Amino acid sequence: MRILSIAILVIPLQLFAAGSLSRQEVDQYMGVAGAVIASKQTTESVMMTCGRLVPDLAAQARSASQSWNRRNKGLVTQARALKAKVVRHLQAIGDHARVQMFLGQLKRYMATEVRTSIAAISRLRPVERKYVCLQLITKIKNGQWDVQAASPAAFHFMKSIKQKR
């Protein structure tokens, strides 16, 4: 399974606050929001898949997913707000085609991440699947799949925006 990684440039926060976004900023914000939201979707989907394919681990998988959601709730909320800001900005400047492109790319990216992760687990033999799911549950519970660990650039970018508001 792939770990999300994004290269992010430092962006003047005054532009973010002013509501005037350059094309580069829009692209960067879309990438950051997409990484965080996809991380949530992937984690939840992998845990649901483990719970479904290895019923003995269903409760642990559900607990791990809930733990991830509690620890990353603020970042996910912030990513959704960032996504909404980009959409509002693009709608305000009349770039409706870009809004649709952005939302479509985000949807395809998340679907690909989820599909890839689920397929990797589903292809395993039952004994291997149980072992892999147990390892994933442990890593998720220990925070190794948190946004901070899975996508450090997105994490630091989101934290820098939050601190300077």
Q: What is the pLDDT of residues 47-89, one digit of tens each?
A: 999 999 999 999 999 999 999 999 999 999 999 999 998 889 8
Q: Is the pLDDT of residue 16 over 50?
A: no
Residue listed under structure tokens 């430092």: 10
Q: How many domains does the chain have?
A: 1
Give domain status of residue 95, yes or no.
Answer: yes
Residue listed under structure tokens 């305000």: 92
Provide the domain limits for residue 121: 23-159
Give domain status of residue 47, yes or no.
Answer: yes
CB 83 within 8 A of CB 37: yes
In this prediction, residue 19 carries a pLDDT of 55
Give domain status of residue 13, yes or no.
Answer: no
Give domain status of residue 1, yes or no.
Answer: no
Give domain status of residue 92, yes or no.
Answer: yes
User: d(Cα 138, Cα 157) in Å, to the nearest integer?
Assistant: 27
Give domain status of residue 32, yes or no.
Answer: yes
CB 76 within 8 A of CB 37: yes
Mean pLDDT of 106-131: 92
In this prediction, residue 163 carries a pLDDT of 53
Q: What is the pTM of this model?
A: 0.79
Give domain status of residue 72, yes or no.
Answer: yes
